[in-house]
Amino acid sequence: MKKHASLILGLIQFFVAIGAVPAGYSMIVEPSGSDLGMTTAILEGSPFSSFLIPGIFLFTVNGIFNIIAAVLSFRKYRYAGLAGLFLGFALLIWISVQVYSVGLNHFLQPSYFIIGLFEIFISIILIRKNKI
């Protein structure tokens, strides 16, 4: 596992990014959520009145930052593990806030939470391997 930690981490980050970039972009372009088949009614009781702010976070942190981190991981950059650790925790926070705000209403929520935990786990292996 240690030998392939950079590759595994990069694949996880790329997987997260390919889901986050188009969804986040759709939320930014159409903050009502209609492009994704959602309505702002699910945001009732949350701190958000539209999907704009969540879309910006999703697009930037879970999307663009994960693409950059995947490149760092694939290139075996010394600090790729730290980037993965940060982004793994960001994904856990994203999912936790989402579930708290709109409820647990899709199988992808716990799936991405588990992916975030796995990203953290692989990042720790990589950090220990690089002795940072």
pLDDT one-digit tens code per residue, 82-131: 999 999 999 999 999 999 988 898 999 999 999 999 999 999 999 999 88
Distance CA 51, CA 40 (A): 7
> 129 vs 10, 49, 77, 126, CA distance in Å?
16, 44, 12, 5
The pLDDT of residue 45: 83
The pLDDT of residue 102: 86
**pLDDT(1) > 80:** no
H or E element that contains 15: helix 5-29
Residues whose CB is less than 8 angstroms from the CB of residue 22 and which lie 6 or more positions away in sequence, other chains included: none
Residue 119 near residue 87 (C-beta atoms within 8 A): yes
**pLDDT(70) > 80:** yes
Q: Which domain holds residue 93?
A: 5-130
- Helix (H, G, I), strand (E, B), or coil: what is residue 80? helix
Residues whose CB is less than 8 angstroms from the CB of residue 91 and which lie 6 or more positions away in sequence, other chains included: 16, 62, 112, 113, 115, 116, 119
> What tokens appear for 54 in the block?
């969540």
Domain total in the chain: 1
Dihedral (CA of 87, 14, 49, 103) sign: negative
Dihedral (CA of 84, 90, 94, 97) sign: positive
